[in-house]
Chain A
Amino acid sequence: MQYQSQAVAKPYFIAAIGLFVGQILFGVILGLQYVIGDFLFPEIPFNVARMVHTNLLIVWLLFGFMGASYYMVPEEAETELHSPRLALALFWIFLVAGALTVLGYLLVPYATLAEITGNDLLPTMGREFLEQPTITKIGIVVVALGFLFNISMTILKGRKTVISMVLLLGLWGLALFFLFSFYNPTNLILDKYYWWWVVHLWVEGVWELIMGAILAFVLIKMTGVDREVIEKWLYVIIAMTLITGILGTGHHYYWIGTPEYWQWWGSIFSALEPIPFFMMVIFAFNMVNRRRREHPNKAAMLWALGTPVMAFLGAGVWGFMHTLAPVNYFTHGTQITAAHGHMAFYGAYVMVVLAMISYAMPILRGRAAANSEKSQVMEMWSFWLMTVAMVFITLFLTGAGVLQVWLQRISESAMPFMVVQDQIAIFYWMREVAGVVFLAGLVLYIMSFFVGGEEKTAQA
């Protein structure tokens, strides 16, 4: 560890992984509820389990981004973090606020939660992914601003690299667009229009900048390839991201009451959104091919290469499959969406955070560069279990979705939603099996942290 203050990343990473486990436990619950409809009803209805699952995902990824930033920025800026104490304080605030929110979801009926948290003063609850009480959202903004202040001050007083500037831009963008979650007009169509300014401009916008910066950092550290080359291509990749992604927002504006020209604008630009992901794959493999050193952390290398591949498949390919308006007309709001969503999130964001943790954690725990052979092997097994399981989850949901679209929307004798759900149950059962395998992979991943042993002597 080059700078003492990088150590604050550790609690963030640990919290991230802990919340990840929570997310997957609830994922397995949801998968079972799909086929045993009243599982845990009425104590934990589907919608409650779902909001726990999705909110935990977002929060653990945020912990991951913050941890990554606290690790990367001192090293990039070549100076200690502005305030490690602030970082630790914000850690506890965020963790406690998050835990209380999740407990709120689980322990009281949602309408009651809305009432007791004063939602009526400024109603922001009850929208997908934005289920948090308004006071929690305010808390998130406060934590984000504190975090941004800390990171920005560090960069300001130190060396300004492209990687840290791109990361910073992505993080400020994340905070800025989150503010739209406070805008909840009475007009449902306007509500939906601006909701996507949070969701799309996050995951198909500024989050890609964060992902690119993290990936670039890990690749520079592990391959030793010239920074100039990596940074130039980072700019090219993020340029393509925003050039395609900003107008690509239009692919959410086909069927929600907005003008029909969005079907053209959205289709054309969102069709191009896979390009930056494709470039990331080429970029990552090219860098590793041209590496000037053999980094001992093979596990991290696996995550670093797997990330762009799965991101390209999940976000790029699966996204493309249902992005054109004529196709989307039939697939909108079906299991096709769920299939894409799972692989995209896993490939782009889950994996890049795990890549960062894989790279940084050994160093944070006192290793020179990597864990023992045994630990790495176990971690790599967990990579394959989770990744292959996710591929199967996606394939099964795609199958479910295709059949759903056919039976419910295309067939001459279209069947009602619930009838169709029964028809596609077999896919849901298979998905659940894959989900359990994913959980097993995650357990193995956790176990790898506790496997000791001697680090292989570091090679130059």
Chain B
Amino acid sequence: MNSSVQHANGRYPPGDFAIWIFIYAELLAFGIFFLSYAFARANNVELFNESQLLLNRTAGAINTLLLITGSYFVVRAVAAIRDDKAQLCSRWLMAAIMMACAFLAIKLVEFYTKYQEGISLSTNTFYMFYLSMTFFHFMHVILGAVILAAVMLKARNGAYSREEHTGVETGGSYWHMVDLVWIILFPLVYIIR
């Protein structure tokens, strides 16, 4: 259980071992949610199809693009620090955080609209899943943004270098996980009929 120093020239998995326990736990939690959704849907196909039509796919699609773009920016940030360019790294991270904020804003509008329409966790099983999963993910996007912000500030203050930037890789891995979850969630809940 010794944590080994991860070098920039790619010992995998990137970042610290302990973070991967948490990433796996996160994926497990979301995975179970997805499976539960699939199971519930199998028992309520009509209800799910009907309720799904009321979702805002455009918002969902834009959000997908925002997160993927954010991931691209994170990749650029890691590349920058591997090149010993701490300030550039922090700017790429800022860009990623902007993407996250845009996602959060659009999602908030979506939630608010649903609230106005009188839809809640108790409306029906589909909406219970929709609201639960997207809210759970929403909170993870916030957490991801907070983590990126912490890493960004540390990068700006010179805490990372070509030799030692485990934190950037760890934070980056977490962000990618959040993105990955959405990439599954969006088609699963918004699209698949």
Contact = CB atoms under 8 A, between A and B. Distances in A.
Interface residues of A, number: 19
Given A233-B1, A239-B22, A259-B121, A272 B36 contact: no
A285 B31 CA distance: 30
Given A259-B122, A261-B122, A268-B33, A243 B25 contact: yes
A265 B32 CA distance: 10
A236 B18 contact: yes
Interface string A242-282: 01000000000000000111001101110110010000000
A232 B19 CA distance: 12
Q: Which of B3, B21, B36 gathers most chain A CB within 10 Å?
A: B21
B122 A260 contact: yes
Contact of B25 (A259, A271, A272): A272
Interface residues of B, number: 17
Contact of B128 (A239, A261, A269, A271): A261
B42 interface: no
Nearest to A232: B18
A259 B22 CA distance: 29
Interface in B61-89: none
B128 A286 contact: no
Nearest to A283: B1
Nearest to A225: B1
A309 to B, nearest CB: 19
Contacts of A236: 18, 21
A37 B121 CA distance: 46
Interface in B1-45: 1-3, 18, 21-22, 25, 28-29, 32-33, 36
Contacts of A261: 121-122, 128, 132
A271 B32 CA distance: 10
B32 A268 contact: yes
A93 B29 CA distance: 46
Contacts of A259: 121-122
A300 to B, nearest CB: 23
A437 to B, nearest CB: 38
A275 B32 CA distance: 15
A121 interface: no
A229 interface: yes
17 contacts: A229-B2, A232-B3, A232-B18, A236-B21, A243-B25, A259-B121, A259-B122, A260-B128, A261-B121, A261-B128, A261-B132, A264-B129, A264-B132, A268-B32, A271-B32, A272-B29, A286-B1
Given A243-B25, A272-B25, 17 more contacts: A229-B1, A232-B3, A236-B18, A239-B22, A240-B21, A240-B25, A261-B132, A264-B129, A264-B132, A267-B36, A268-B29, A268-B32, A268-B36, A269-B29, A272-B29, A275-B25, A286-B1
Q: Which 6 A-B pairs have the closest CB atoms?
A: A261-B128, A261-B121, A268-B32, A259-B122, A236-B18, A264-B36
